[in-house]
Structure 1
């Protein structure tokens, strides 16, 4: 915490004094952007432009900044490719059902801002697309096991004779 401004000292002089002390302590050493000019502001940015610039600078995913309805719509657009990439039909079904569960939860809770219709994915249609991309490969027939060899041991009743 900084000390209080002494009485009789102007505010500007006191601020300059604080800056000189911080410089002597090395508080301004190694700061990002040291020795570089401030970025120019050519025009006023809208909140949308500012948010996109912030997302790029912070390497954030801009999709995560969208309202939940638009995120679900984007997920719905990407759903066919995601389903096709699944190795088994059960996994593909689970992906579609998980998406539908998120859409159902979106419909059931109150929405802040604009409500966006998303629509459920048709599970059977998505699975038909998955089946078309993953044809069934017939398994080679399994050979029948050889019959058991006859036993060489004879029972006690067959020994006499």
Structure 2
């Protein structure tokens, strides 16, 4: 719609006319969700509904929305689980190296809130990986 409101018409009258003309042309026919109740009306009001809808629509996880240093911290916390199924020390070291590269990149060009993140000690990860692979050992939570 590129038509402008004539100066002699009130805004409400002009808008009503545009809607009526669009209805007559059938522009509102067969819209998705036509005849269905609006989603979310049956539950309690949630002022964050639009953010939750955006996250779901875009297929984002909560972690993807975190600032980079917090994402890196989460990866460090999950590192024992990440390397647990790897079969060689070389694979463990490569995984730690890739994570450390991203940590160093963030340290060099920080953006967002100042959250301290440090590279991971590959030797310590390999030591824990070996220890956790021994028969009868239970994996302990990661402590940096």
TM-score of the two chains, using structure 1 as the length reference:
0.67
CA root-mean-square deviation: 2.6
Please, which runs of 5 or more residues in structure 1 have no aligned partner? 136-161
Structure 1 pair 56–37 and aligned structure 2 pair: CA distance change class (3 A): closer
1:92 matched residue in structure 2: 92
CA shift for structure 1 position 95: 0.5
CA shift for structure 1 position 92: 1.4
Which segment drifts farther, 25-34 or 92-101?
Answer: 25-34
Question: Counterparts in 2 of 1:34-113, with a 5 A limit?
Answer: 34-35=34-35, 36-37=37-38, 39-40=40-41, 42=45, 44-45=47-48, 51-52=51-52, 54-112=54-112
Q: For 1:102 and 1:132, how far apart are their aligned partners in 2?
A: 26
CA shift for structure 1 position 65: 1.1
User: For the Cα contact (< 8 Å) 1:103–1:120, is it kept in 2?
Assistant: yes
Q: For 2:65 and 2:57, how far apart are their aligned partners in 1?
A: 14
Structure 1 pair 50–8 and aligned structure 2 pair: CA distance change class (3 A): closer
SS at match of 1:4: coil
CA shift for structure 1 position 87: 3.2
Q: For 2:40 and 2:92, how far apart are their aligned partners in 1?
A: 48
Which segment drifts farther, 17-26 or 30-39?
Answer: 30-39
Aligned pair count reads 131
2:139 matched residue in structure 1: none
Q: For 1:79 and 1:29, how far apart are their aligned partners in 2?
A: 53
User: For the Cα contact (< 8 Å) 1:52–1:62, is it kept in 2?
Assistant: no
2:108 is equivalent to residue 116 of structure 1: no
